[in-house]
A = this chain, B = another copy of it.
Amino acid sequence: MANILIVEDEENMRNIIAAYMKKSGHICYTAEDGVDALMLLKSNPVDLMILDIMIPHIDGFSVCKVAREMSSMPIIMLTARAEESDKLKGYECGADDYTTKPFSPKVLLAKVNALLRRSSFEPREVLSAGKISLTPSSHKVFVDGEEITLTHKEYELLYFFMMNPGRVFTREQLLDRIWGYDFEGISRTVDTHIKTLRHKLNGEGKHIVTLIRSGYKFEVKV
């Protein structure tokens, strides 16, 4: 269901965890050190990470911090040490859970599923609103049954909106989260993309609502 990254240097442990996750329908990526982990994080869509602290090259805390900057995925820390200061450090780095070895793989799986539920991760195959439907896996968008072609930015914008329905975003937030800039000053770029997106969505463009001085939001119902 979800893409899970397992970062653990002991091969045996790694395999056991992966086996449990796979059995429950998740897709697993594995890394045996911090560098591997970061590379995988960059190039793959990871929904949750299980992260051992004592790993070669770059330790788990650092990996956790970097991961936190790029995504809000749930992170479960694993470690042999049960020291309080370590746990606190883990939570400070942005971890969601801190599990000490030895642990039961069943309980780990239960935690994983609880966190996925909590992180509003849904294995949604298709997002829809009104007559719009969007399939993330194939990047296809249909309006009233007709496929429409969007450019990459337009797709990302629509996808972002549909993943966060009802929420208001300022132009700056959109530039930040979709474009990835720290934009200084004013830009009409967002407006222009909204315009073309609305146009391509035809009548369904009404789902994208302007809030003067606040930004835009996507409303599922009219």
A interface residue numbers (CB < 8 A to B): 74, 84, 87-88, 91-92, 94-98, 104, 106-107, 110-111, 113-115, 118-120, 137-139, 151-152, 155, 166-168, 211-214, 217
Contacts and interface: CB of A to CB of B under 8 A. Distances in A.
A217 B84 contact: no
Given A107-B88, A139-B214, A96 B120 contact: no
27 contacts: A74-B118, A84-B106, A87-B107, A87-B110, A88-B110, A91-B113, A92-B110, A94-B114, A96-B115, A97-B97, A97-B111, A97-B114, A98-B107, A118-B119, A120-B120, A137-B166, A137-B168, A138-B166, A138-B167, A139-B168, A139-B211, A139-B217, A151-B212, A152-B211, A152-B212, A152-B214, A155-B214
Nearest to A137: B167
A115 B116 CA distance: 12
Contact of A95 (B114, B120, B152): B114
A152 B170 CA distance: 13
A110 B87 CA distance: 9
Contacts of A139: 168, 211, 214, 217
